[in-house]
Each structure stands twice: as structure tokens, then as C-alpha cells.
Structure 1
Amino acid sequence: MSTETLEKTEGGAQSAEGASPYITATFRIRRFNPEISADAIWEDFQIEIDPKERVLDALHKIKWELDGTLTFRRSCAHGICGSDAMRINGRNRLACKTLIKDINPEKPITVEAIKGLTVLKDLVVDMEPFFQAYRDVMPFLVTTGNEPTRERLQSAEDRERFDDTTKCILCAACTSSCPVFWNDGQYFGPAAIVNAHRFIFDSRDEAGEQRLEILNDKDGVWRCRTTFNCTDACPRGIEVTKAIQEVKRALITRRY
């Protein structure tokens, strides 16, 4: 374990009251580089940062000014792309939505890759199994007949039926928080079921039965143990467990 300290470079910015807004925070990051070692290690970095900034800002600061080899994913940095999901203080979160002041910066802040997927380097995991499960549930509108000459209309009530599950950003926070998925990577996982739900309950779609049969598989929706980890982990506030239960009910009643 090594410790490095970054001196404040903002020219000693002071607040109106004369006190510096910066604190010294320790970030304890789980590092893994298969080109160096088969084992992961924890490495500490101390930085001075405004606690109102985000964990993503801290990771940028570490990468740009302390250790350029630190590897993580991010894109939009505004909670829309979902690419910077990671375990922060033991919970799945988006680094771009997590404020440092909200995670007790008086103690070391732990950051590690999400669980259940193979770590490629540092905080980056292999997302292919996750996206394969997503593709397997046919996450697109299926209709028959001729192509329409106008848009397919839908009532506000019909749209509301699946509105919650349209919010998914495929960050994998829910799936990688699921203990069933940790133990068996063949399980479709919450995110795939949520995206199947989005089309099963869409009044314009005609492949609901087909998706239900896909999820009726031994690795499908019945593997869910209703631990609510997925709902707690979702950064978009989707009621993931509720959506899974609705898919189970649809399988039993064939009403959706």
C-alpha cells in the first residue's frame, strides 16, 4: 500500500468567511493490473478537494495529477450514460452522482469495481455477459403487418404502465448488486428483466409471449430471491423488484 499527497493547486482559494472549502480526503482504491500481478491490491491516495465535488472529480484528480495508470470508465459525467458504476464504500453507485460530503470523507473512502463481472483493470469490468443478457430478452419493439404510414399512437394510461422501466441506463448497478448473479453468472439479472418488462407491457408490442418464455428459463426470472438489493442500487430510482414480480405474475396469469 502506498500513500501519495496532492498539494492544492487552486491558489489557496478561500471562502467568503476566510476558511478554505477544501478538505483532505483519503481514497482507498482497489487496483488490479493483470500485466503486473494476478492479485489485486488496495492503494491509498490523499487529495485536497471540495467535499461538494463528486467521487468522479476525485478520480479525475488522482488520474490526472497523481497516477495516470488509474483506469475507470466514464462518459457523460451527469448520470445518464451509466458507464461509471462502481462500489463506493461497499455500495453500488454512479461516481458522477455521489458527492464526497455524503459518504463520510473523515474516513478512507473505498472504491472498487462492481461485483459479479470479470475485472479487466482497476475499476473496469467486462460488460459483455451483462449486455448479452440484455440482447437475449429482445429489447426492441416487435410488430407484425405492414410498416405503418403514421406513428403508433398510445394512450397516456398505456404509456404509464411501463414508464418506470424506461428509465434504465444499463449501468449494471442493479445486476452486479444481486447475490444470485454473483454466484451464477448465467442468471439473466435484474437489468435484463427490467428491459424485458419495458416491452412486455408496451401495448404496441406483439412479442410479449416470446419474451416471457425466454424469462421462464431456469436462468430466468424465477432465480430472483427478492432481496431488494437491485432496487436499492438503482441510481435512477426504478422499482426493480416490483418490475420483476410483475413479470413473474404475467408468467403465471398470462395477463399483461
Structure 2
Amino acid sequence: MATPTLEKTDEAPSAADHLVTVTFRIRRFNPEEGPEAVWQDFELRIDPKERVLDALHQIKWELDGTLTFRRSCAHGICGSDAMRINGRNRLACKTLIKDIADLSDGQATKPITVEPIKGMTVLKDLIVDMEPFFQAYRDVMPFLITEGNEPTRERLQSAADRERFDDTTKCILCAACTSSCPVFWNDGQYFGPAAIVNAHRFIFDSRDEGGEQRLEILNDRDGVWRCRTTFNCTDACPRGIEVTKAIQEVKKALITRRF
């Protein structure tokens, strides 16, 4: 397949001195064209301080409008643009080209590879079916559960109690952790790290009264005990959540019933 090339010829040479030549090797899949995915190269002249998402925009807007990927806020909050970049799960909107390209004499010596996250059905190009992921999230009841009458005032919580689950409130449901997990790759029935992280957020919330219910859900054969502590999830999390630590705390709560 020919390599489309984008060069901004209307710029003065001095204005383009900071640009570098980078080849993006993207894994393409179109179910209407065939059952197999193919790799396609796109060569760009681009500022190395730009993000991978900016490069994907250039390709889609100026080279190949059929390229398909998800993105929304473009600022690392929505989690929409999680993908495998150079073999690692990352958010395209937070990954700078200069941080992942081997640059020499104004060009990258190797292509930057971009492909969909693993363990989920690819719908087209970089888009995967997220429904199983979100079903696991819904299954752990990610909402506050209380009993008795509705309070007449705000449910108060100390700073120490709030800090207990602060780390797991940072999850943006990008699926980078879950799709980096070897257990999830081999068995899509596993709840996965993200679901467990979001269960942790409520299990250890002092205002919540549904901890026992969530623990029983995660005590299932496809629950928390499937974790093999490879730390892939922690390494993949773009928000810096200590995912493996949260999973171990849920395991401990299941054994001790103290949380």
C-alpha cells in the first residue's frame, strides 16, 4: 500500500525548520473490506512537540478521511483515545511525539506504531467494542449505596476517610489498564482492573453501606482472584493510579472483611 505523504509547501523554509519527518504505521481494519487487519504507513512533517492525537487528526483531515478513532476532550480527562502506541497502552492526547520517536537529523529513524487496545473486538481501525468493559463496570455497582431514610443534611466525611479511597477516584474509564492485563486477554469474562478499581472506590468509602455486596460480586471465579499481580495495569494507567495496590486491598478486605 502506498504511503501517503503530507508536506506543508505553503510555509517558508525558515518557518518549517522545527518540523521533523515521522512515519506513522497504523493498524487498519475495515470489516466491509475483509476479515484481516493491515498496516498502513503515513509520512508527516510535524512539530515533535505535537501529540499523537494531533498527528492522527492531520492524517484524517488531510490524507485519509476514512481513518477511524475515538477522541473527545483531547486533554486526558475523557479517556476516549486509549490505544497502543509503540506497543504500550497510552492516551493519544497525552503522548508527545518527541517522547516516543527516535529523532535524528530532522526525522524519525523508526515508524511510530499505532493500533487498537488488546482484548476487545475491533470494530474499525482503532475503535474497539467497549460494551463488555462497561458491563463489568456496571456489575460492581459503582454508586453510593445507603440504607434507611434519606438524610436531611449532607453526609459528612473526614479528610482522612476521604483520603482512604482518593487514588481510585481518578479513574477515567479509558480501559488502558484492563486491556493491558494478560488475564483479560485470555479470558474476557474477567472483571478486569478498571472494574475492581471502581469497586474499591466505594468499598472503602465510609459513607457507603454496600461494601459486602460488592465484595461478594468480586469473590466470583471471574473476580478479583484472577489477578496475577503482573503490574501491567499500574504501568498502563495514564492517571498514575496504583491499580495493583487497589486490587490487593480488595483481596485483603475479602479475607478479613475489614474495610
Shared fold by TM > 0.5? yes
State the Cα distance separating 1:146 from its structure 2 match: 1.1
- Say if 1:153 and 1:118 are closer, same or farther in 2 by CA, change over 3 A: same
Match for 2:159: what amino acid? Answer: A
Helix, strand or coil: the match of 2:23?
Answer: strand
Q: Pick from 77, 82, 86 the counterpart of residue 85 of structure 1.
A: 82
Q: Pick from 219, 223, 227 the counterpart of residue 224 of structure 1.
A: 227
**Partner residue, 1:209:** 212
TM-score, normalized by length of structure 1?
A: 0.97
* Pair 1:100-2:103 in alignment: no
The total of aligned residue pairs comes to: 253
**Partner residue, 1:3:** 3
**Partner residue, 2:18:** 21
**Partner residue, 2:57:** 60
Q: In 2, are the aligned partners of 1:141 and 1:205 still within 8 Å (CA)?
A: yes
State the Cα distance separating 1:147 from its structure 2 match: 1.1
Q: Pick from 130, 150, 154 the counterpart of residue 151 of structure 1.
A: 154
* Distance in 2 separating the partners of 1:230 and 1:205: 26
Helix, strand or coil: the match of 2:4?
Answer: strand
Helix, strand or coil: the match of 1:44?
Answer: strand
* Pair 1:246-2:242 in alignment: no
Q: How does 1:192-203 map to 2 (within 5 A)?
A: 192-203=195-206
Q: In 2, are the aligned partners of 1:6 and 1:47 still within 8 Å (CA)?
A: yes
Helix, strand or coil: the match of 1:3?
Answer: coil
CA RMSD of aligned residues (A): 1.0
Match for 2:2: what amino acid? Answer: S
State the Cα distance separating 1:104 from its structure 2 match: 1.7
Q: Pick from 175, 180, 204 the counterpart of residue 177 of structure 1.
A: 180
* Distance in 2 separating the partners of 1:9 and 1:195: 49
Match for 1:189: what amino acid? Answer: G
**Partner residue, 2:113:** 110
State the Cα distance separating 1:13 from its structure 2 match: 6.5
TM-score, normalized by length of structure 2?
A: 0.96
Match for 1:103: what amino acid? Answer: I
**Partner residue, 2:105:** none
* Distance in 1 separating the partners of 2:152 and 2:137: 30
Match for 1:12: what amino acid? Answer: A
Helix, strand or coil: the match of 2:57?
Answer: helix
* Distance in 1 separating the partners of 2:225 and 2:191: 10
- Say if 1:9 and 1:239 are closer, same or farther in 2 by CA, change over 3 A: farther
Divergent runs of 4+, >6 A: none
Deviations 1:233-255 (A, max 9, x none): 00000000000000000000000
Match for 1:38: what amino acid? Answer: P
State the Cα distance separating 1:12 from its structure 2 match: 3.2
* Distance in 2 separating the partners of 1:112 and 1:104: 16
Please, which runs of 5 or more residues in structure 2 have no aligned partner? Answer: 103-107
- Say if 1:160 and 1:10 are closer, same or farther in 2 by CA, change over 3 A: farther
Please, which runs of 5 or more residues in structure 1 have no aligned partner? Answer: none
* Distance in 2 separating the partners of 1:234 and 1:87: 12
* Distance in 2 separating the partners of 1:9 and 1:175: 43
Identity rate, percent = 86
